[in-house]
Structure 1
């Protein structure tokens, strides 16, 4: 039951992210939330989440250097 709930929650987050790509909104937040929900059950989602975390960290470091 927990796995089904997390999968449905991930699907809802993904649909909201797609909606917010068209309409202004926090699409990245919902994509990450869906990925986190999926990573609790699937190892391939953990790999994507790790790559995403590394990418966001690199982007944040670059922005921090530019803004100083």
Structure 2
């Protein structure tokens, strides 16, 4: 039962991430949440989660540098 709920929430978060890629919204946050839930059961999700975390770190660093110049 726990695994079914986990997978349902993960698919919901990933679907919201895809939706927010089309319309403005926090798509990367939802992708990370969905992959985090899937990473408990699947090694491929852990790899994608690591890639998303690196992308989020790079984008935050980039934005911090741009905002610091203001």
TM-score w.r.t. the length of structure 2 is: 0.74
How many residues are matched? Answer: 68
Given the superposition, is the C-alpha separation of residues 2 and 54 from structure 1 closer, same or farther in structure 2, using an over 3 Å criterion?
A: same
Counterparts of 1:38-49 in structure 2, within 5 Å, are: 38-49=38-49
Unaligned runs of 5+ in 2: none
Deviation at 1:25, TM superposition (A): 4.2
For the aligned residue pairs, the C-alpha RMSD in angstroms reads 1.8
Unpaired stretches in structure 1, ≥5 consecutive residues: none
- Greater CA deviation, 27-36 or 56-65? 27-36
Aligned CA distance change for structure 1 residues 16 and 65 (closer, same or farther; 3 Å): closer
Distance 2:18 2:56 in 1: 20
TM-score (norm 1): 0.75
